[in-house]
A and B are shown apart, each in its own frame.
Chain A
C-alpha cells in the first residue's frame, strides 16, 4: 500500500484539490469552479458566516492541510470577516500550492470562475506528480460516526465497527469516536476504560457538558426516526453508539482539529465549551464527519440503520448498514451489510474483519459507494472551544 507524501511529512490516501468559499456570498462562484472538475478529485468546502470565528478558522486550516489534500483555492467575496491572508499563509507554509481569488478584485462572477478553473487545471497537473511512499496501518487515522440510527445499529454495525477499531489499534492505527451527546448514560462505563486515572473524570466531564448543553436546548441528539426505528431513550441510543468504540483503553480526549498524537483510541469532544451560544453542537452528521476529517482521519466509518446516503469531502466514508431491511432498499449506498448478523449469516467478528479489510482496500485506492456516487458533503458552522486540559492527552 502506498500513500501521497506531503511536504510537511504527513501521508494521505487520496490526492484531492479543494475549493473553499470563505463566506456564503462566495459559495456560488466556488461551486462553479468545482463543477466541471467534480469527477476529477476537486471538492468544495466553505464557511457560510460573515463574522470571524476561531474554531471555523482552525477547522479550515486543518482541512486544507489534511494529508489527502494536494492543492487549495480560496474564494473570498472581499468584505467578509474571515482572515483569508492568515489562512492562505498557513496553508502555503505546508508547501502546498495554494491561492486566493477575491471576487471584488478579480472583477465579478464570470472572471473569477474562469480564473478559478484555470488555476485548478494547473494545480491538478502539479499534484499529479506528488511522490508515492509506503503507507501502512500505523499511518492510518480512522474516525467513526453513526447516523440515521435505529435499534439494529447498536446490535450489528456499531459493535462490528468496535471489533474493527480493536484490530486497527492492535496494528498501530489511531482511531477516534465522537458525539458526546450520544454517550449520555454510559459516562461511568466509559470512564472505567481511561488509560490513565486522571483521564477518567475528564471523560465524565465531557458527557456532563453535553448533557447540560442538550438539556438547555430542550432536545437531545435524538431524531424522530430513531424512535420509529425502535430506540426509546437517549441512554438506549447511547449504549448502542458507544459500542463503536470497541474494547481498547481510551488514550485521550481531542477537540475538533486536534490530530491524535500516537496509536490508540481517542474520544473527540464535539460540544462547544462555555455558555450555550451556538445552537445545536452539530446540526447534522455531515458536520461530525468534517470534524473527524479536521482531526486527520483518512477514512470515516459511518454506521446507519435507517439508511444514510452521505459521503464527505476530502476523506472517503465507508457505510456500514445495520438493518437488513434497509440494506435491501439502499444497497447501492452501502459498503458493508452488517444486518447479516441478525439473520445468523455472519458473526460480529466476521463483519468486524470485513470492515477492517475494506478499510485497507479503500486506503489503497478502492472507491467507496459514496465516492462512486459523487457524494462529497461538507458543513461548517459557528462554535467555540477552550484549549484541552492537561489530563486529556498523555504528557
Chain B
C-alpha cells in the first residue's frame, strides 16, 4: 500500500490491516508504517503481526485478504496484534498457560457428571 512501510514488515494482500514481521524486532526498535513511526514495546519474533493502521474493537482483522478473526480491543497502528487483542470468529485459541485451566475444567465436568 504505502512505499514508506518498513522492509522488515510484510503485507500479504493489499486489503490487509495487519503486517507480518519477517525479521525479529527487539523492544525499542523503531518501525515505519505508512508514514507513521511506532516504537516496538515487546519482542516480536518472525511471523508475529503488527497493525497496519488504527483498528477499532470489533473490526475484522484481514490477512491474506481474508478475515482471520475480530479485534477484541482497540489497536493502535504499529501495535502487536495477537491473542490479547484478536479473537477467532470460530474456535477459541488455546495457549500453554491455559493448560491448567483446561484440565481443571475437564476434571470438574467429569466430577459433576459422576455425581449426576
Partners in one complex: yes
Question: Interface on A for B, CB 8 Å cutoff?
Answer: 150-152, 154-155, 184-186, 189, 211, 214-215, 218-220, 222-224, 227-236, 239-240, 243, 305, 323-325, 342
A155 in contact with B12 (CB, 8 Å): yes
Bound Cα distance from A228 to B12, whole angstroms: 20
Which residues on the B side are within 8 Å of A324 (C-beta)?
46
Interface 1/0 per residue, B85-103 and A, CB below 8 Å: 0111111111110110010
Interface of B is mostly: loop
Bound Cα distance from A385 to B81, whole angstroms: 39
Bound Cα distance from A233 to B66, whole angstroms: 12
Which residues on the B side are within 8 Å of A229 (C-beta)?
45, 47
A186 in contact with B46 (CB, 8 Å): no
B68 in contact with A342 (CB, 8 Å): no
Residue in contact with A230 in the complex, picked from B48, B67, B90, CB distance below 8 Å: B48
* Chain B min CB distance to A183 (Å): 11
* Chain A min CB distance to B99 (Å): 7
A239 in contact with B93 (CB, 8 Å): no
A185 in contact with B68 (CB, 8 Å): yes
Interface: B107 (CB within 8 A): no
A184-B21 contact in complex given A236-B68, A239-B68, A342-B46, C-beta closer than 8 Å:
no
A155 in contact with B96 (CB, 8 Å): no
Which residues on the A side are within 8 Å of B83 (C-beta)?
227, 232
Q: Which B residue sits closest to A152, measured CB to CB?
A: B47
A230 in contact with B93 (CB, 8 Å): no
Interface: B22 (CB within 8 A): yes
Nearest 9 A/B pairs, CB to CB:
A151-B47, A230-B47, A224-B96, A233-B88, A236-B68, A220-B91, A230-B48, A233-B69, A235-B68
Question: Interface on B for A, CB 8 Å cutoff?
Answer: 10, 12, 20-24, 45-49, 63-64, 66-69, 81-83, 86-96, 98-99, 102
* Chain A min CB distance to B66 (Å): 5
Residue in contact with A325 in the complex, picked from B24, B49, B93, CB distance below 8 Å: B24
Interface of A is mostly: loop
Residue in contact with B66 in the complex, picked from A214, A215, A222, A235, CB distance below 8 Å: A235
A231 in contact with B87 (CB, 8 Å): no
Which residues on the A side are within 8 Å of B82 (C-beta)?
227, 230, 232
Which residues on the A side are within 8 Å of B48 (C-beta)?
151, 230
Which residues on the A side are within 8 Å of B88 (C-beta)?
220, 232-235
Residue in contact with B20 in the complex, picked from A155, A185, A211, A323, CB distance below 8 Å: A155
Bound Cα distance from A219 to B106, whole angstroms: 12
Query: Could you name 17 residue pairs across A and B whose Cβ atoms are closer than 8 Å?
Result: A150-B46, A151-B46, A151-B48, A220-B94, A222-B91, A227-B96, A230-B46, A231-B47, A232-B81, A232-B86, A233-B87, A239-B64, A323-B46, A325-B46, A342-B10, A342-B22, A342-B46
Which residues on the A side are within 8 Å of B89 (C-beta)?
185, 233, 235
A323 in contact with B47 (CB, 8 Å): yes
Q: Which B residue sits closest to A189, measured CB to CB?
A: B66
A233 in contact with B47 (CB, 8 Å): no
With a 10 A CB-CB cut-off, give which of A150, A214, A243, A342 has the most chain B CB atoms. Answer: A342
Which residues on the A side are within 8 Å of B96 (C-beta)?
224, 227-228
Bound Cα distance from A227 to B92, whole angstroms: 12
